[in-house]
Structure 1
Amino acid sequence: MTSKTTPGLRLAVVVCCFSDERRDDLDLGVRAVRDQLNPETDELIVVVDHNEGLQAWLSDHFPDGVTVVPNHEDRGLSGARNTGTAATQADVVVFLDDDATLRPDGLDAVRTAFADERIVAIGGAVHARWEAGAPPAWFPEEFGWVVGCDYRGLPPHGSEIRNPIGAAMAVRRDALMKAGGFSHRLGRVGSVPAGCEETLMGIELRRLFPDSRIVRIEDFAVDHTVPRSRAKLEYFTNRCLHEGRSKAILSAMVGAGAGLSAERSFVLRTLTTGAARCLGRGVTGTPSAFARAFVLVLGLFVTAFGTVSRSLTTRGAAAGTARPGSSTGRAATEAAITADELVSVVIATVGRPSLLDTAKAVLAQTHRNLELIVVDNRPQRGAATALVAELDDPRLRVVEEPVPGVSAARNRGAWHAHGRLVAFTDDDALPDPDWIARVLKTFVADENGIVGIVTGRVLGTDAATVEQEWFEEAKIFDKGTEATVWAMCHEGATAELGGYGPHGPFFPYTAGECGSGNNMVFRKTALASIGGFDERLGTGTPTRGGEDLDSFRAALLDGWAVAYNPLAVVRHYHRDNMDDLRVQSYGYGTGMAASLAKLLLSGPSGAWAIIRRFPRGLHMLLSPTSSKNVDLPREWPLELRVREAWGYLAGPVLYLRSRRHRVGSLDLT
């Protein structure tokens, strides 16, 4: 690491606070930061987490040199940190806890570290400042993380780390924004001692910037207050339990390999040697060492119990333990969707020229309360940013997803979405001006909260060639003029949503009758409950498709309903030549077969569900008189049928190939 400083580096120090009880610590911490700021380049931002009284006190107490802002996101540390990040344009964001006091020259150490362009984030040294003067005799030093401080087993100064400790960390702002900030599903909310949001941040930064480094810098140091309330065994076990639960959520989001890599090493090396050291000292005449050994094992057990119990709960929810189609609704506990709801529209793209027209059509919606998130799935080209550069609209953002595939791009867009509804369309589609307004009417009419997805009608933009006429006549995207509700159980839908659709031989496992991916709008909670789009499926992966059908099926099996509104229209530029139709037909076959192969490999119940439907399903897929094929025009070339059938055979093999290289999906909450 270079030792030179970077005088022009702009720092923003973000301190998040929520409790009036910490005013003394907060005052001390703010003054320590102000003494180290470069007044020409740096800024100090204090984010108040939904406490108007504390915000007013801070504004009066620090009238100059401190920017005080309320948390504009959901209550919790993650939302407060995201608010602080959005409030600055600095090069590096330094995060400090409201009960941590920066030691002298701490910000100089930050500037020195980030002079190395390879460093994307750093973690500082967090020294415990025990209110009682010293830790309890039973407290094992290996569990310093329980009180948010350093612990035995941390790597030395300058070493690479998976993630920093949140009380003292710094991140390049641009990188943090590309990583999606901090997840609301993780992190402390008020006094609930959850965590792991910094771990997810570190994992995301390494995924997006594989050549970068996250290092520990001991000269960037703080003194962190540990109140007497946290020096109790009750707090210790409660914190361990919540940490274990957070680890389970994190592992579901990124996989156990990434989510628990450091923990395995910590248990095998640090805790085992720590227990041996405590027992040795107890034998040689230090009775309290036996207590430390006991608490060390207790902490390990409670943390592991939290991880396992939360993992089992998560799996049960994913398997649809709630009765499908229950009239109480999966969204019954949410606030009702309103006609003026913020809707996040996501367009995944590799920079196709038609993107500009699609973006213009979205921004021209009659429903104005929306945001448009364009996800550049080929960021090394920069074509997407260049295409929409002429659109001067604050509702438009471009984010990057370097992992190829429409599912990864859509997940990235949903991750950045601020709305409770996330709409998806393609970069070669033109939504009608009232598309979002029509979708909202469906969600508003869902009085019982059963609808997780609304789909709409997809028509051609034109029919300039015979191939486009064939496609339109075949009704591959067009699902008709009747409002329909698709659900596992026929109860809970209001009359305004339409009648229930019939269950065909492969329902809900093919789910093609529900709609298509270029016109679908999810409740964000529904998308999160199924783990987002499966990144092993879809355009840009070996499977070439199937991700939309897979998401519909997963939502239906998870107890949600899919409502089709034929008045919510998106117009699609159909393929205008035989070469493109050949590729598209093959992709339909591979995508559907890959989606079914996923279910076959999911376990005995999933495999049996497919096997017992296979004879009737095969007839539906291949017979010219089946409901799937009856609308095909008489002129539809036999070659396209053959290519689709060949795709059905190739799909499972392609899924296995994709499965070897992908781990699944992103968490979206």
Structure 2
Amino acid sequence: MTQTQNTETAISVVICVYTEDRWGDILAAVDSVRAQSRPALETLLVVDHRPALLDRLTREYKETPEVRVLANQGPRGLSAGRNTGIAASYGEIIAFLDDDAVAERDWLRWFADGYADPAVMAVGGRTEPIWASGRRPVWFPEEFDWVVGCAYRGLPRGRARVRNVLGGNASFRRTAFDAAGGFATGIGRDGDRRPLGCEETELCIRLSRARPDAVLLLDDRAVIHHRVPPARERFAYFRTRTYAEGLSKALVARSVGAGKGLESERAYTSRVLPAGVARGVRDLALGRAGGGRRAGAIVAGVAAAAGGYVLGSLRARGGSAGSFTVAESGRDDAPEAVA
């Protein structure tokens, strides 16, 4: 890959990886990018402080020049991995794909279509779950599919402006990072067992503040399919993830203020979730499977998230919520490609 190539409308794809347990998923994710109807300029695999995985992927793609394997140049975690990919990439549009997801053939085509408008700074897509058990657990409410990293009931359909895109299926102009900086480390997943998130929400709010004219889009034609492992189909994970979301939202509110940080969540909890509870109760009354359990899961999820938010806010006030930093943006040739 050379900087002399025409990159004006080229798309670099960044896939952050951290475990050999997802080896088959990682290969499938890369294959889905290589099969795009609108080819990617390059695919960057950013390995999160796992030397054995780094070496194995280097060997796997040593004869594949359009796939580069990089070591995360920052602290452990998804945000620093994404920032490494941004800095090492050459495309003027940078897309992010989860390491346990596969993109449909026109995924990048629909992303590129959104950038025909120069005001568009980010385009996200729709993520569909692939349940390990073969079907959605009967108790699992569609309103909470974000728990497993997927599109949820309440998101707009078609193409629509949004406050933030969802990180596992998203793209940004490079100039968005020039304006707002990179992903904040200290927010989101960092190798800890607690499933935190919201790093893309915080970035998108910073972007909108730095560029008030910026348009952020959700286009549900840009589809990926995300694997949901058995452990994440269980209520224990549901409860843990919703609690962690509350902690994450407290960090976002600390960074950008509660007004913007909770703007979409207020509409979600006041409209979408009550409607979901009502549907569950109706299904229970009609004798449909899982109706009562879905309604109960929604209530439990709200309670867990609220508890996490309160605790996270108290920790922030007491100075024990931890710290986060915003990475500087820009293309950086320092992260050396291993393959």
Which amino acid counterpart does residue 186 of structure 1 have in structure 2? I
Q: 1:279 to 1:25 in 2, by over 3 A?
A: same
Any idea what SS the aligned residue of 2:161 has? coil
Any idea what SS the aligned residue of 1:83 has? helix
| Cα RMSD after superposing both structures | 2.2
Q: Which consecutive residues of structure 1, in runs of 5 or more, have no partner in the other structure? A: 1-5, 319-413, 419-669
Q: 1:199 aligns with which of 201, 211, 215?
A: 201
CA distance in 1, matches of 2:315, 2:251: 10
Q: Which consecutive residues of structure 2, in runs of 5 or more, have no partner in the other structure? A: 1-5, 330-339
Shift of 1:267: 0.4
Which amino acid counterpart does residue 220 of structure 1 have in structure 2? A
CA distance in 1, matches of 2:304, 2:38: 45
CA distance in 1, matches of 2:327, 2:33: 31
Q: Does 1:14 align with 2:42?
A: no
Q: 1:227 to 1:280 in 2, by over 3 A?
A: same
TM alignment of 1:168-207, pairs within 5 A: 168-190=169-191, 191-207=193-209
Any idea what SS the aligned residue of 2:184 has? coil
Between 1 and 2, higher relative CO (CA 8 Å, sep ≥ 6) is seen in: 2
Which amino acid counterpart does residue 22 of structure 1 have in structure 2? R
Any idea what SS the aligned residue of 1:240 has? helix
Q: 1:298 to 1:38 in 2, by over 3 A?
A: closer
Cross-structure match for 1:302 = 304
Cross-structure match for 1:58 = 57
What's the TM-score, normalizing by structure 2? Answer: 0.90
Which amino acid counterpart does residue 166 of structure 1 have in structure 2? G
Measured against aligned partners, the alpha-carbon deviations of 1:453-508 in whole angstroms (never above 9, x if no partner) come to: xxxxxxxxxxxxxxxxxxxxxxxxxxxxxxxxxxxxxxxxxxxxxxxxxxxxxxxx
Measured against aligned partners, the alpha-carbon deviations of 1:337-388 in whole angstroms (never above 9, x if no partner) come to: xxxxxxxxxxxxxxxxxxxxxxxxxxxxxxxxxxxxxxxxxxxxxxxxxxxx
Shift of 1:209: 1.1
TM alignment of 1:228-627, pairs within 5 A: 228-317=230-319, 415-416=326-327
What's the TM-score, normalizing by structure 1? Answer: 0.46
Any idea what SS the aligned residue of 1:122 has? strand
Q: Does 1:131 align with 2:132?
A: yes
Are the counterparts in 2 of residues 14 and 45 from structure 1 also a CA contact under 8 Å?
yes
CA distance in 2, matches of 1:71, 1:8: 26
CA distance in 2, matches of 1:415, 1:315: 20
Cross-structure match for 1:585 = none
Which amino acid counterpart does residue 177 of structure 1 have in structure 2? D
Any idea what SS the aligned residue of 1:124 has? strand
Which amino acid counterpart does residue 145 of structure 2 have in structure 1? G
CA distance in 1, matches of 2:171, 2:59: 28
Which amino acid counterpart does residue 123 of structure 1 have in structure 2? G
Cross-structure match for 2:141 = 140
Shift of 1:173: 1.1
Shift of 1:416: 4.4
Number of matched pairs: 320
Aligned residues with identical type, % of pairs:
39
Any idea what SS the aligned residue of 1:89 has? coil
Any idea what SS the aligned residue of 2:157 has? coil
Are the counterparts in 2 of residues 37 and 43 from structure 1 also a CA contact under 8 Å?
no
Q: 1:76 to 1:37 in 2, by over 3 A?
A: farther
Any idea what SS the aligned residue of 1:317 has? coil
CA distance in 1, matches of 2:88, 2:328: 18
Structure index of larger Rg: 1
Which amino acid counterpart does residue 100 of structure 1 have in structure 2? A
Which amino acid counterpart does residue 317 of structure 2 have in structure 1? R
Are the counterparts in 1 of residues 189 and 197 from structure 2 also a CA contact under 8 Å?
yes
Shift of 1:36: 1.8
Which amino acid counterpart does residue 297 of structure 2 have in structure 1? V
Which amino acid counterpart does residue 93 of structure 1 have in structure 2? I
Runs of 4 or more off by more than 2 Å in structure 1?
Answer: 414-418
Measured against aligned partners, the alpha-carbon deviations of 1:226-262 in whole angstroms (never above 9, x if no partner) come to: 0001001111111011110010111111111011000
Q: 1:129 to 1:194 in 2, by over 3 A?
A: same
Q: 1:218 to 1:417 in 2, by over 3 A?
A: closer
Any idea what SS the aligned residue of 2:45 has? strand
CA distance in 2, matches of 1:192, 1:251: 19
CA distance in 2, matches of 1:47, 1:298: 36
Measured against aligned partners, the alpha-carbon deviations of 1:19-66 in whole angstroms (never above 9, x if no partner) come to: 111111111110110122766x71110100011111111111122121
Shift of 1:177: 3.2
Are the counterparts in 1 of residues 7 and 90 from structure 2 also a CA contact under 8 Å?
no
